[in-house]
Amino acid sequence: MAQMGWVYLDDRGGRHRVGLYHGDQSGHVVIHCNLRVVQIDFSVKDTKKYSFFIEDEFCELSVVKEKDGTFGYDFHVNKTVDTPRNRIRRVDERRIRKQMALFIGGFLAVVLLGFLGFRRFGQRQELERLSQSSLFSNLNRENVQRLAMEGKADTARLFIVEEAMQRKVFYGFTTADSTRISGAFPAPDKGVIMLPNGFPLSDRDGFLVTYLPSNPQIHRVDFYQPTRATVERYVRMAGEAERKAHPDISERRSICMALSAAQLRGWTSLADFIFQTKTTDENDRHNQNSYQRLIHDVDYIRIVKDACWDQ
């Protein structure tokens, strides 16, 4: 005799035991649920399906005759047939699908808004960074992209001019078709004019300028791309500041020390020499502290020892 059993858990947490007996010789079928007989059938020698309710769920139990003559058995709850419980289930499923659609739609909207917000924030940050490190004419995202794709390079020269008792910095460059482009920006009336790169401005300092050939008025002067001559002037200024602060060293050694710093940390470290006597209040980027950190750096000491020992 074949004997099968299943455990069905309903939506309310109820536990139901379903069982089946199928006689080998007689073919009689007995189906029971929770120790109560729900159906009896006789001489079942072929495939057959039985239906019954557990609470308000429409259940089906199948006796399936295989090709080799043996029998297989299957129990499941039919959730598609038209019953009061399935009607309620379909209403619930539609409501859940609608809620899920609203949730997913809301989630995607939040993700999209977040992505666009971060993208816009990143673009603002990039434009702000460019405005702090460069002199940008007609600064906006479209022009930044156009300059990156179509821009041509040249050198812009800067000049300090007094005009109507006010100092200004003028700059100019010449395009490939010999068009002269110029501009100006205000400067403090007194004292050193500091550039965004942290160095003091001198007449004829040169920096990389990128412009649109179709409209050279759209251009960018990058203060972190100085010409070789401008960097050489920074080296001389650094050497002079070092020799002024330490009169016992030679001119050659002071220059060698400045070049060693540039070799180790890049040309922007020359400003640590130039402003080595300034406090953090006077110069928060390059000052006594940044200079002391530089000259006490182990790698810097090694480079100076190797390069400047005979100077």
* Residue 106 maps to a domain: no
Q: What angle do CA 184, 188, 189 make, to 5 degrees?
A: 105
Are 289 and 272 within 8 A, CB to CB? Answer: no
Last residue of a domain, one of 56, 79, 102: 79
Q: Is residue 196 part of a domain?
A: yes
Q: Which of 193, 225, 257 is the last residue of a domain?
A: 225
Instruction: Please choose, from the candidates 264, 152, 261, the residue with its C-alpha nearest in 3D space to the C-alpha of residue 208.
Output: 152
pLDDT tens track, the chain, 311 positions:
789 999 999 888 889 999 999 988 888 999 999 989 999 999 999 999 999 999 889 999 999 999 888 999 999 999 989 888 888 888 888 888 888 888 888 778 878 777 776 666 555 655 465 555 567 677 777 888 888 899 999 999 999 888 777 888 899 999 999 999 988 888 887 888 899 899 999 999 999 999 999 999 989 899 999 999 999 999 999 999 999 999 999 999 999 999 999 999 999 999 999 999 999 999 999 999 999 999 999 999 999 998 887 76
| Residue ranges making up the domain that contains 177 | 136-225
**pTM score:** 0.60
In a domain, 107, yes or no: no
DSSP state of 281: T
Q: Tell me how many domains the chain contains.
A: 3
Domain boundary among 202, 225, 248: 225
Q: Distances from the Cα of 243 to the Cαs of 30, 32, 239, 255, in angstroms?
A: 109, 105, 6, 9
Q: Are residues 214 and 250 in the same domain?
A: no
Task: Name the amino acid, one letter, at 239.
Answer: G
